[in-house]
Amino acid sequence: MTSSAPKPPRGHFSILYFASAGSFTGRDSESLPAPLPLSKLFSELETRHPGFKAKILDSSLVTVNLDYVDVPGEGEEGPVIQEGDEVAIIPPVSSG
C-alpha cells in the first residue's frame, strides 16, 4: 500500500483506504467527484462498495487533509469536501 495518493484529477478529491478499508475495497485509494458534502460521504461509498458502511466505516474515523472530522448524519449541515482534498478512512489502529 502506498501512503500518498496520486493527485486527483480536476473536479475530484482523493480518498485513501487503509488496512481493513483497503482489503474491503480492493484498492488503496480512488478519486471521487467534488464537491461532496461530508454528510453524503458514507452513502456515496456504500453505493460504490456495498456492505462497506456496516463492516468498516461505522468503526472507522475520517480525516480531511490530515485533520480528524466528525461525519454529520444524512441531511445534517456540515463541511463540504472540495476538489483536491485528501480524505482518508482510518480503521482502528494497531501499531507496536
Partner 1 sequence: MTDTKHDDTNTIWHLSEQGCYVALTHDHLDLQQAIDRVRSPAAGAIVLFAGTTRDNFAGKPVKELQYTAYNKLALRTMLSICKDVQAKHGLKGISMIHRLGTVPIGEESILIAVSSPHRQAAWRAGEEALEACKERVEVWKREEFEGEEGVWRANRDGAVGQKVES
Residues lying near partner 1 in the complex (CB under 8 A): 1-4, 16, 18-20, 22-26, 55-56, 63, 66, 88, 90-96
What is the smallest separation between the CB atom of 5 and partner 1, expressed in angstroms? 10
Q: Which is nearer to partner 1, 73 or 96 (CB)?
A: 96
C-alpha cell at 94: 494497531
Query: Would the CA dihedral through 65, 25, 2, 12 be positive or negative?
Result: negative
Q: Which is nearer to partner 1, 73 or 93 (CB)?
A: 93
Give the closest residue to 25 by CA, choosing from 8, 5, 44, 45.
Answer: 45
